[in-house]
Chains A and B, each alone.
Chain A
Amino acid sequence: MHEYAFFLGCIAPNRYPGCEASAIKTSEKVGIKLLPLKGASCCPAPGAFGSIDLNVWYAMAARNLVLAEEMKKDITLICNGCYKSIWEVNHILKHNDELRDNVNEVLAEIDMQFKGSIDVWHLAELYYDEKICGVQKIKDSVTTPLTGAKIAPHYGCHLMKPQKERHFGDTENPMWFEELIAALGCEPVQYRNKMQCCGAGGGVRGYDIVHALDITNEKLINVREVGADAITEVCPFCQLQFDRGQIEIKEKFGDVYNIPVLHYNELLGLAQGMSPQDLALDLHAIDCTPFLQKVL
């Protein structure tokens, strides 16, 4: 069993608890144990905090990292936004002495010190990693294949970009997420401009909702064009933007899509036999029932 400190973030536990519940249960079936990271806070939001003062962003993310350092466990998480804060600040502070000293000066006020002794992983990347889990192991864990469903993958931005600072390779047309989706028995579909942003990041959702939704709308048009039954992603903030965003798009632009949006963990949970009730799919703004009827 590989053990990790599970960094929850905000939107997964506080808006889509099914993402949290399914992460804990699905990972256990493939040999990954998620331990609670007690006292963790918001990552903090890279768009909001990073835009105001990067130094506070470094220090706040470092506090979360130190909590896991004290547990002597690597962190895993299920949100691209959290990945940007937690992974990137860990990376920066490990390699930039000046910034690390500044952060440690502040952390000393609360009797903490950033040591740089752990690594940070997205759970999806652990699922794909042959050394930890791998696609075959995911495939073997499936009891209810989601046969017949066309799934549009949304990678999001902050997991893989900027490419040069990450380790995921190509960001123009990656295919690793498709492999994870196909392992569940469903069909990943390609659509126009797959790597485009959901529109929510950088504080834009709060600053100019119509602008953010217009970006989302473009993605939804492209997803509908290929007849996808659902969108899947690895970021609860993207999920919120696509899911609640469809309601807002209906109100503001009059466009109706009704495309269910599920986190990859929720999809994996369904494939491993969890019921829609176990995943709190009723909290999703877009009704998942037609999709569920198709696959279950």
Chain B
Amino acid sequence: MAAKSYNISELDNKLADRRYHLADSNPEFTQKILKTSRTIANMCYQCGTCTGSCPSAPRSSYRIRLFMRRCVLGLENESLTDPDLWLCTTCYSCTDRCPRDIAPTDVIMAMRNLAFKRDIIPKNFLQTVQLIYNSGHGVPNNDVNRAARTKLGLPADPPTTHTYAEFIPGIQKIIDHYELKANADRILKGD
């Protein structure tokens, strides 16, 4: 992910060109993605190198090139309600091969962030949030593993939040700051 921000007025003017937006498109969507992803999807010339590099493409209807076009055209609903949005393994092959130096992977991540704001999110993502909220770990320890660790001469619980539970309230404070746990509980309950 590019660690820079683009605050260039000339560029903003170019990106504000809305001639190609359709009736059901939302130019703000493109801008929001630009801000979160810090990559310029508008540079895309639809060559398809991304889809050709994608390990998910040959086994599904997921087409990263299509999402790039949707981003540029501001097709918010079409992007966020497509279940294929969640088939990106974030392998960054498309990003490494993009001849326009765009990071399509980061466009997908930004779209997923926006989808979550509309409660569109697969359950497993929210379950990870709950696990980390409660234990600090997305994959918590268990008894079989504790026995194995002891045999190896390791402490039964690793020296993480598993041993030092006093750090968990701090983690909960961070997650609560963004109301992530409350939203995860609410969305999972409604399912």
Contact = CB atoms under 8 A, between A and B. Distances in A.
Interface string B50-88: 000001100110000000000000000000000000111
B32 interface: no
B3 to A, nearest CB: 4
Contacts of B59: 211, 214-215
Interface residues of B, number: 69
Interface stretch (A120-128, A130-138, A158-166): A158-166
Contact-size category for A: 35 or more
Contacts of B93: 157, 161, 195-197
A155 B32 CA distance: 33
Nearest to B132: A42
Given A53-B178, A215-B59, A14 B91 contact: no
Contacts of B136: 41-42
B1 A280 contact: no
A45 B128 contact: yes
Contact of B154 (A17, A40, A47, A110): A17
Nearest to A170: B96
Contacts of A164: 96, 101
A178 interface: no
A15 B139 CA distance: 8
Contact of B138 (A42, A59, A112, A207): A42
Given A14-B145, A211-B56, A96 B180 contact: no
B177 A106 contact: yes
Given A56-B180, A92-B1, A162-B92, A51 B113 contact: yes
B151 interface: yes
Interface string A97-135: 010000000110110100000000000000000000000
